C-alpha cells in the first residue's frame, strides 16, 4: 500500500430495497421513502455513528448517539414491518452495539482506526513470542527475577516475602505501561490535529505506524503483567491493587 492510499474514503451508495432509490452508505434510512436501509458492506464504525475519524471522543456525545440510534433501530418498532425491514433493524442494532463497544474503549478505537486505514491488524502479533525491541531490557530483567522467585518458592521461601518481590519486579513494567499510555495519548492528539489540518498522507502514515507499534508494545506489557499476576496467585496471597484491569 502506498502512502497516498491512506485515509481514502470511497463514495458508495446503498439501494433501498423498498423503493429502489439510492442512498449514501452512511445513511440509516432512505431519503426518499424513509424506510430503514439494509446494512450492506459498511465497515467504518466512526461513520456509522456519525463521528469524524478521530481518536478523541466526547463520551457524553457518544452515549447520546448510541441511545438515539438504539431507539431508531429497535426491532420493536418494526414488528409489523416487512421482513426486509425487520432484518435491517436487527442488522443495524447488532452492528450499532459492535460499533459502540469498539469506539468507546481507547485501545479498540485505535485498533479500528488502524483497520479502516488499511494497516496490518495488531492482534495478529499480540500473542507471538517475539519481544518488541523497546521492551527487551524490561523483559530480560523480569524473566531473571521470575526465575529466582520460582526457585525460592520451590525451596519453601516465605510467601509474603516472595509476593513483595513480585510487586517490586512489576514496578518497572507498570512504569513502562504508564509511559505507553502517555505516548498513545500524544499520538492520538497528533492524529486528530493532522485530520483537522489536512496533513499529507506520508505524515498520517507515520502517525499510524507509531500508533500500531505502541499498541503492540502495550499488548505485550499487559501479557507481562498478567504473568506476574499468575505468579502472585500461585502464592495464595491476594493482590489488592494489581492494576491489570486498566484500559
What is each CA distance from 171 to 141, 151, 177, 214, 235, in whole angstroms?
Answer: 12, 21, 10, 19, 19
23 bridge partner residues: 14
Which region, left, alpha or beta, applies to residue 82 given φ > 0 means left and ψ of -120 to 50 means alpha?
beta
Helix (H) or strand (E) holding 153: helix 136-154
Average pLDDT over residues 124-145: 74
User: Tell me: the pLDDT tens digits for 174-186?
Assistant: 999 999 899 999 9
pLDDT of residue 159: 87
pLDDT at 81 over 50: yes
Looking at per-residue confidence, does 129 or 168 come out higher? 168
pLDDT at 246 over 50: no
Q: Mean pLDDT across the chain, nearest whole number?
A: 85
User: Tell me: the pLDDT tens digits for 51-69?
Assistant: 999 999 999 999 999 999 9
pLDDT at 247 over 50: no
pLDDT of residue 138: 84
pLDDT at 241 over 80: no
Nearest to 215 by CA among 65, 94, 106: 106
CA distance 132 to 9: 32
Share of the chain above pLDDT 70, in %: 87
Helix (H) or strand (E) holding 23: strand 22-24
Looking at per-residue confidence, does 153 or 56 come out higher? 56
> Helix (H, G, I), strand (E, B), or coil: what is residue 172?
helix
CA distance 28 to 34: 9
pLDDT of residue 28: 92
Question: Three-state SS string across 173-235, please?
Answer: HHHHHHHHHHHHHHHHHHHHHHHHHCCCHHHHHHHHHHHHHHHHHHHHHHHHHHHHHHHHHHC
* 52 Cβ contact list (under 8 Å, min separation 6): 46, 195
pLDDT at 140 over 90: no
Q: Count CB-CB contacts under 10 A for residue 215.
A: 21
Looking at per-residue confidence, does 36 or 125 come out higher? 36
pLDDT at 127 over 60: no
Q: How far is CA 189 from the centre of its chain?
A: 16
pLDDT of residue 5: 39
What is each CA distance from 156 to 127, 149, 220, in whole angstroms?
Answer: 33, 11, 31
Share of the chain above pLDDT 90, in %: 51
CA distance 148 to 213: 31
Nearest to 113 by CA among 124, 123, 102: 102
pLDDT at 8 over 70: no
pLDDT of residue 129: 55
User: Tell me: the pLDDT tens digits for 92-126?
Assistant: 999 999 999 999 999 999 999 999 999 988 764 44
User: Tell me: the pLDDT tens digits for 200-226?
Assistant: 999 999 999 999 999 989 888 998 999
Tell me the longest C-alpha to C-alpha distance in the chain: 77
pLDDT of residue 238: 53
pLDDT of residue 123: 67
Amino acid at each position: 500500500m502506498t502512502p497516498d492510499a491512506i485515509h481514502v474514503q470511497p463514495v458508495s451508495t446503498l439501494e433501498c430495497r423498498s423503493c429502489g432509490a439510492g442512498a449514501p452508505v452512511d445513511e440509516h434510512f432512505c431519503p426518499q421513502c424513509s424506510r430503514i436501509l439494509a446494512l450492506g458492506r459498511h465497515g467504518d464504525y466512526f461513520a456509522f455513528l456519525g463521528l469524524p475519524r478521530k481518536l478523541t471522543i466526547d463520551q457524553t456525545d457518544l452515549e447520546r448517539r448510541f441511545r438515539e440510534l438504539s431507539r431508531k433501530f429497535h426491532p420493536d418498532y418494526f414488528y409489523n414491518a416487512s421482513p426486509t425491514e425487520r432484518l435491517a433493524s436487527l442488522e443495524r442494532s447488532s452492528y450499532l452495539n459492535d460499533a459502540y463497544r469498539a469506539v468507546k474503549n481507547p485501545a479498540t478505537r485505535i485498533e479500528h482506526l488502524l483497520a479502516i486505514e488499511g494497516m496490518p491488524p495488531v492482534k495478529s502479533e499480540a500473542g507471538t513470542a517475539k519481544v518488541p525491541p523497546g521492551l527487551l531490557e524490561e523483559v530480560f530483567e523480569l524473566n531473571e527475577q521470575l526465575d529466582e522467585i520460582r526457585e525460592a518458592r520451590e525451596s519453601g521461601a516465605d510467601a509474603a516475602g516472595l509476593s513483595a518481590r513480585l510487586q517490586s519486579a512489576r514496578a518497572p513494567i507498570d512504569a513502562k505501561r504508564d509511559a505507553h499510555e502517555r505516548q498513545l495519548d500524544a499520538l492520538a492528539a497528533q492524529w486528530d490535529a493532522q485530520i483537522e489540518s489536512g496533513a499529507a498522507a506520508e505524515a498520517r502514515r507515520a502517525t499510524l505506524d507509531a500508533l500500531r507499534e505502541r499498541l503492540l508494545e502495550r499488548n505485550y506489557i499487559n501479557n507481562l503483567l498478567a504473568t506476574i499476576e499468575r505468579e502472585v496467585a500461585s502464592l495464595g496471597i491476594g493482590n489488592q491493587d494489581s492494576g491489570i484491569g486498566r484500559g
